[in-house]
Structure 1
Amino acid sequence: MGKIRITKQFTFEMGHALYGHDGKCRNIHGHSYKLSVTVIGEPIADTSHAKLGMVIDFGDLKKIVKEEIVDPFDHATVFNKNTPHGELAKVLENEGHKVILTDYQPTSENMVIDFAEKIKSKLPKGIVLHCLKLRETETAFAEWYAEDNGAPPQ
């Protein structure tokens, strides 16, 4: 049997600010993110297996992405922990707001790299993360591809 790619899409709302940026994005603002997750693998051929014909159950993929990405990041405000926004983050957290401090500038580019690592670490054996597409707006997105990042083409 051949390899098949399957994709599941997710949405979440998130605020962020890009410290040191020379444009409007230095201000705290938010986006309605759309994340497309594509994995590759061979459909299960074992006729006694409950998931016969599936590469991975969409529900299982949803569980991974929800736990690793959607639940933590949805309705959070994200700041680079190495910027002065750290003080603001403490104030927000003390008032009950959901804040994430990252080791990176929270751009779509850096977030998609982080998300790829989080998802890859949770996928079952035989399932490979092929690509991610993180849409920040209707006209702007970042993509991550395994083959661009050292993985052999599938």
Structure 2
Amino acid sequence: MVYLTRVEHFNAAHKLYNPSWSKEKNEEVFGKCANENWHGHNYELLVTVKGKPHPDTGFVMDVKRLSLLIKDQVIEKVDHRNLNMDVDFLEGQFCSTENLAIGIWKQLAKHLPEGVQLYCIKLYETPRIYVEYFGE
């Protein structure tokens, strides 16, 4: 099995806030991330697919096609957006980086060509904080 990773970048704002908690409780748990005026991140997204190289091309997947897929299904929906308010695939969910990674997985998995599987979504919120999601 060969693993192929494509790296993309996007900027987005969000707020960590549990509406069933008081403002004080939210600030205690989420700190500055509960800011009423939101806050933003420069996200780094690594999408890894796996498969066997095709005998005619030697590719697991054409990386241009993978890049377009990521841009169409994810980047166009999240870049320079408010993740809590503007992103359809996050509607009704708590807007953590963990849930964002799961949402990205769901956006991409259904569009991969036959013989190619999504292996991992790695999403950096900051250079020192990231999540990895390997599916359910």
- TM-score bracket, normalised by the shorter chain, equals 0.7 to 0.9
- 3-state SS, counterpart of residue 71 of structure 1: helix
What does residue 60 of structure 2 align with?
55
Unpaired stretches in structure 1, ≥5 consecutive residues: 47-51, 80-88, 90-98, 150-154
Identity of aligned residues (%): 33
State TM-score, norm by structure 2: 0.85
Going by fraction, where is helix more abundant, 1 or 2?
Answer: 2
The answer to whether structure 1 residue 131 and structure 2 residue 120 are counterparts is: yes
- Verify: 1:118 aligned to 2:107, yes or no: yes
TM value normalised by structure 1: 0.75
For residues 32 and 56 of structure 1, the distance between their equivalents in structure 2, rounded to whole angstroms, comes to 27
Q: Deviations over 1:18-52 (max 9, x none)?
A: 12333211110000000000000111103xxxxx1
- Detail structure 1 runs of 4+ shifted over 4 Å in the superposition: none
Aligned counterpart, 1:24: 32
- Root mean square deviation, CA, Å: 1.2
**Structure 2, unpaired ranges of 5+:** 19-25
Who wins on radius of gyration, i.e. which is larger?
Answer: 1
Q: Distance in 2 between matches of 1:109 and 1:17?
A: 14
Identify the residue that residue 12 of structure 1 maps to in structure 2: 10
Give 1:103 shift. 1.9
Identify which of structures 1 and 2 has the higher relative contact order when contacts are C-alpha pairs closer than 8 Å and 6+ apart: 2
Q: Give the paired residue count.
A: 122
Q: Equivalents in 1 of 2:32, 2:82: separation in Å?
A: 16
Q: Does 1:69 align with 2:74?
A: yes
